[in-house]
A and B are shown apart, each in its own frame.
Chain A
Amino acid sequence: MSQWIPVCQYSQLTNGLGVCALVNGQQVAIFCVEGELFALDNFDPFSEINVISRGITGDLKGRLVVASPIYKQHFDLRTGQCLEDDSISLNVYPIETVDGVVQVMTAPLVKQVA
């Protein structure tokens, strides 16, 4: 059963930067870009380590992305899709702010196609 889990204060986030939250034992990367929040897997499938939250954010051809800090692949912040490799995408989680508290849904928004 999926549920909202509070993770931090909205004020703890910095525009353009990510943090990593532990959500039901899962590592979730959370980004704030110009007020909008995004939550994706923190696990980078290319380097196989938990570092997505430490990537640099930006936009490429109109899509908001984060770049893995290890080998620099880009992931769409909204869909988790890897821009360099169609077969790879990160799970994306519902995220919202309630009374200044950021909360994340424990189950991914879009199920990855196996």
Chain B
Amino acid sequence: MSAKQSLIVVGNGMVGHSFLEKLVAAGGLDHYQVTVFGEEPRPAYDRVHLSEYFSGRSAEALSMVKEGFYQQDGLHLKLNETVQQIDRDVKQVVTSKGQTIQYDQLVLATGSYPFVPPVPGHDRENCFVYRTIEDLEAITEGARSSKTGVVVGGGLLGLEAAKALKDLGLETHVVEFAPRLMAVQVDDGGGAMLRQKIEALGVSIHTGKNTKLITDGDGAVHQMQFADGEVLNTDLILFSAGIRPRDELAKQSALVMGERGGIVINDQCQTSDPAIFAIGECALWEGKIYGLVAPGYQMAQIAVDQLTGKTDSQFRGADMSTKLKLMGVDVASIGDAHGQTKGSLSYQFIDDEKKVYKKLVVSKTKKRVLGAVLVGDADEYGNLLQMMLNDMVPPKNPAELILPQSDGAAPQGLGIAALPDTAQICSCFNVSKGDLVGAVAGGCQDIGALKAETGAGTGCGGCAQLVKQVLDSELTQLGVEVKKDICEHFPYSRQELYHLVRVGELASFNEVIVSHGKGKGCDICKPTIGSILASCWNDYILKNEHAPLQDTNDYFLGNIQKDGTYSIVPRVPGGEITPEKLIVIGEVAKDFKLYTKITGGQRIDLFGAHVNELPAIWKRLVDAGFETGHAYGKSLRTVKSCVGSTWCRYGVLDSTSMAIAIEHRYRGVRSPHKVKMAVSGCTRECAEAQSKDVGIIATEKGWNLYVAGNGGMKPRHADLFATELDDETLVKYIDRFMMFYIRTAERLQRTSVWMDNLEGGLDYLKSVIIDDSLGINQELENEMTHLVGTYQCEWKTTLESPEKLQRFSHFVNSDELDSNVVFVSERDQRRPASKEEKITLQEVS
């Protein structure tokens, strides 16, 4: 086998990293020894979502690197190091640390830098750009002593940056040279609507402003002077006036450059030197720089293809359509948004009440969609984009494509079946319709599975509705009946059963199966309906008619272990516990010889109790003021917290008190699966709230609420749901979130999968819970209020009933313990004996 070639990658941004991921996936490490240089101190992160850093997302959470990626053999990442010089004659590079390295192939992914207009005073202090995490840290620092902030540039990035300043609590202005916002992507009408919406959010917009000078301010740090004679005083200035390719290195190496910069590449993404590729925002293809990430990813794929022998692959330009959410406002631009194609016709729809603007551009013959602008509501984005990309014929009256449907009828679909398999559905991860069809045929039969398998819809999310349409259409074609019956006894999904129980006011399993099912039930439907009954009416779960429905954990109010004994978890709300209570737990554990371990949820788990011992153990605990921790239930487990502002020098709100209040509120509430919550007292996030179903993070202006995270087998970061909430609103939102989850999730579906499967995902959830789009919030709150008001400690109730206590015996006819339960000692505590140990012990005795 021949020795591996040396491949050097200059730049570790989003595109450079995507190149490496694709190279690894294509088996490139079998042929190349790869060295990567990144000038920043950290590996690739998500610049597209940079503004989320200000709403609480950490630098780590923005990282794009899967664990272990840069630890692979044959892949060497050098951070804080740049390539200074390329000597093309001898094929070697010299780095900023003075190293010389040979290459066979070289990839330039140097990206771009923010353009700062050469206005006198642009380099004053408290003037920033918006590109790296270090920039963000500097902006955060600068904002501390500032009251007002100005963003220069009203394009896509400028508005993102404005959101960042707003999140930092500054009075925010946007100054734009052009007469409207997002001049490249949207037309006058769209720009005007966008302006109204953003001004309504408290950001002042100044268009048509040419900054001439920045000098000392009047009552502020700076004064910006404009060509029209007006001035604006501000403490902080952020330049976001476009990008320029980072091409110095290529220029020095005498590669062919564009007149106004950019490294010229051919369709193979090669520069004028065939051993050197350029991809992403540093590359110039047919006179164009692509300032979006998706075309950069496409170039990365072409370069990988070239390097791994698929030499017929070509870059043929990229679609620049975009859909994004700017400060919560949907904005989308497709194709020829300005209607510049000769003879094109356009249609406009304006809703001044809801602040929606839509424009559709079609060809003269009305046979093709050429472009569109959507502001305020971009639901049609996926459909319109596909129609344009695939030359699909619009309806006779093309305006129907953007007109609202009456009576909330389903939006005009494009007939997804008509799309060719090659149609790209997800541009972030280049997933075609064919890829989705293949994955569905391969067994991905729900949205969650399909997203996980293909990656579609997990980037910007713009294609989520299309992905769902492909899924539905394929399932229908495959003849798969989308059956959600929970078992053979009920032809209903959990959601439907919940509804039947709630509306029919059914109070027992018997009533439910007599009216809606058949047979006697089973170990699937019994616990499910047991849980639904508890979610609706909150009866004591061991009432005679409910007891046979419960899994053994709920039945014995403990967690069964591998040897048939149970573990015990008293509730420790928010993880706060007095020394006295800690001593009680210790004494109980000692007296009953229970194995003791601290849980991940800031509680104490006591293992190895025989069923016979449970009541005596709980008597001691309840007498000492403990209540059950519901560690056994599909219900709220813990609300983890840090000490917050009470003790911590960084804490901004009292996270412990909030955690205790939340834990007391939702304790015992039965739900489709377990629910975990956490409260952090500041953005350092010591309570790891973003890995919970409900995560709460304190900011100086209130609570940020995150939802639908989880740890476990498939960890998922929670999504930011709402920001800067007061206590009351926070609790209201959680009430609604919990009840909506309880109403609509499938059996054993955690909130993460549930949300991923909701059509419309996070945005839909926000519309239901924040905007009350279904008009059910009052009901949801009332239902939760009922659950909170009817809470009881199941152990306390059980201890008060001699009849119930009779069940806590291994034998109905003997007080003996199960002789098959055998313990051995390890590290001074008991643990279950292994099979081999049991045999040995028997031989000895």
Contacts and interface: CB of A to CB of B under 8 A. Distances in A.
B835 A56 contact: no
A51 B522 contact: no
B520 A33 contact: yes
A14 B523 contact: no
Task: Report, as a range, how many residues of chain A touch the other chain.
Answer: 35 or more
A21 B555 contact: no
Given A48-B835, A59-B522, A67-B523, A14 B564 contact: no
Task: Report, as a range, how many residues of chain B touch the other chain.
Answer: 20 to 34
A92 interface: no
Given A56-B527, A58-B520, A14 B820 contact: no
A111 B527 CA distance: 33
Given A20-B812, A56-B522, A49 B551 contact: no
B440 to A, nearest CB: 28
Contacts, number: 87
Interface string A14-47: 1111011110000100100110000000010001
A69 B551 contact: yes
Given A20-B811, A60-B488, A14 B560 contact: no
B482 to A, nearest CB: 23
Nearest to A66: B523
Contacts of A8: 812-813
A89 B180 CA distance: 77
B563 A49 contact: yes
Given A49-B564, A64-B520, A16 B548 contact: yes
Interface in B508-523: 519-523
A14 B548 contact: yes
Contacts of A22: 811, 813-814, 816
Interface in A58-97: 58-61, 64-65, 67, 69-70, 72, 74
B488 A17 contact: no
Contacts of B547: 14, 17
A14 B544 contact: yes
Interface in B535-586: 544, 547-549, 551-552, 555-556, 560, 562-564
Contacts of B549: 56
A12 B556 CA distance: 17
Nearest to A48: B835
B285 to A, nearest CB: 58
A30 B522 contact: no
Given A14-B544, A54-B555, A70-B560, A59 B526 contact: no
Contacts of B563: 49
A7 interface: yes
Given A16-B548, A21-B811, A22-B814, A60 B522 contact: yes
B21 interface: no
Nearest to B560: A69
Given A7-B812, A16-B548, A17-B547, A59 B820 contact: no
Contacts of A56: 522-523, 526-527, 548-549, 551
B435 interface: no
A106 interface: no
B552 A54 contact: yes
A55 to B, nearest CB: 7
Contact of B820 (A49, A54, A55): A49
B613 interface: no
Nearest to A8: B812
Interface in B798-845: 806, 810-814, 816, 818, 820-821, 835
Given A34-B520, A51-B564, 11 more contacts: A12-B806, A14-B547, A20-B811, A22-B811, A43-B820, A49-B562, A49-B820, A58-B521, A58-B523, A59-B519, A69-B560
15 contacts: A7-B812, A12-B812, A14-B547, A17-B548, A49-B564, A49-B821, A50-B820, A51-B552, A51-B560, A58-B489, A58-B520, A58-B521, A58-B522, A59-B520, A69-B560
